[in-house]
Amino acid sequence: MSEWLWAIFTVLAAGGQTLRNAMQKELTATLGTVGATHVRFLFGLPFGLLFLTLVLLATGQPIPPLNAAMVAWTAGSALAQICGTALLLAAMRERSFVVTITLSKTEPVQVAIFGLVFLGDQLSLGLVVAIIIATVGVVMMSWPPRSIAATLSWQSAALGIASGGMFALAAVGFRGGIMALEADNFVLAASTTLALGLIIQTLVLSLYLYVAERENLFAIFRAWRPSLTAGFMGAFASQMWFLAFAVESAAKVRTLGLVEILFAQVVSRQMFKQSLASREAIGIALIVVGVVLLLNV
C-alpha cells in the first residue's frame, strides 16, 4: 500500500486542483486574474497552517528546524510558481493565448530534466516514454483549431514554454525543500514546507497588489465567502501535491498529475453535454496509456 501512496496523493491533488480552478474561474470576473490567483495563497494560508498544526498535534513532534538549504529551495520555488503565473498572465496579451497555454503543458518533460539536474532523480527508459506519451496526449487534447494555432508567434511560444519551465522548477524545488528539511516524518516535512511556501507567496503577492492593484486587494477581502472555499480547496490540493513530492520524484508526480486534464474534461462534458472530437479522443487515449505505463515502471 505504501508504494502507491504517492499515486493516491497525486490523484487527490489533481481532483482538488480541478475544483479549485473552477472556483477561481468564477472569481476572475470580480477580482481580476491576479486577484483570483492570489486567493489560492491568501485564503489558502490559514488552511495550510491548520494542516501543519493538526500534523504537529497528531505526531507530537515540534516543527523541524529550518535550514538554509530548505529555506532557499522553498523560497525559490514559491517565487518560481508566481513567475509561472505571471508568464501566463502575459500570454493573455498575445493573440495565440490558447496555444501558449498548451505549450505550458510541457511541464512534465521539463520537470524530468530539472529533477535529474538538480536532485539527481533517476529517469528510467519506461519513465521517459510514459512522460512523453502522456504529454503528447495532453497537447493533442488542448491544441486549438488551425485558425487559432496559425497565430502562434515565437513570443507566445516562448511564453508558454517558459511558463511550463517555471512551474517545473517550482515542483522540483518544493521537493528539494522537503528533502532538505530531513524530518523524521514525511507528512511533517511536507506540511512545514507548504506552510513556509504559502507564507512567502502571500507576502509577495499581497505587497504587489497593495502597490499596483490596491482596489483588487480590497475586493478579495470583500469576496471572502467564495474566496474562503477556493482557498481551502487550493490548500488541500497543495497539501496532497507536497505529500506526493515527499515520497516520489517530481517527474512521476507531475506526469500522473496530468489526469487533472481528464477530470476537467469529464466536468465540462457533464456540464455542457459536448461531443468528443476525434483528436481529443486520441489525446485521452495517449494520456491513459502514459499513466498506465507510469504506474508500472
Q: Residue 247 and residue 3: Cα distance in Å, rounded?
A: 9
pLDDT tens per residue, range 267-286:
655 544 555 667 777 888 88
With beta carbons less than 8 A apart as the criterion, state whether 137 and 290 touch.
yes
Q: Is residue 150 pLDDT above 90, yes or no? A: no
pLDDT given for residue 99 in this prediction: 60
Sign for the pseudo-dihedral over CA of 248, 168, 203, 92: negative
Q: Residue 182 and residue 39: Cα distance in Å, rounded?
A: 30
Q: What is the DSSP letter of 277?
A: P
Q: What is the 3-state secondary structure (H, E, C) of 134-169?
A: HHHHHHHHHCCCHHHHCCCCHHHHHHHHHHHHHHHH
pLDDT band of residue 1 (cuts 50, 70, 90) is low
**Average pLDDT value for the chain:** 85
User: Which residue, among 9, 88, 76, has the nearest Cα to 250 in the 3D structure?
Assistant: 9
pLDDT tens per residue, range 198-210:
999 999 999 999 9
User: Which residue, among 17, 3, 44, has the nearest Cα to 241 in the 3D structure?
Assistant: 17
27 dihedral zone (left: phi>0; alpha: psi -120 to 50; beta): alpha
pLDDT given for residue 57 in this prediction: 96
pLDDT tens per residue, range 15-62:
898 888 777 777 777 787 778 788 889 999 999 999 999 999 999 999
pLDDT tens per residue, range 74-102:
999 999 998 887 777 666 555 555 566 66
CA dihedral 239, 167, 19, 266 (to 10 degrees): -130
Grid coordinates in use for 186?
Answer: 514525511
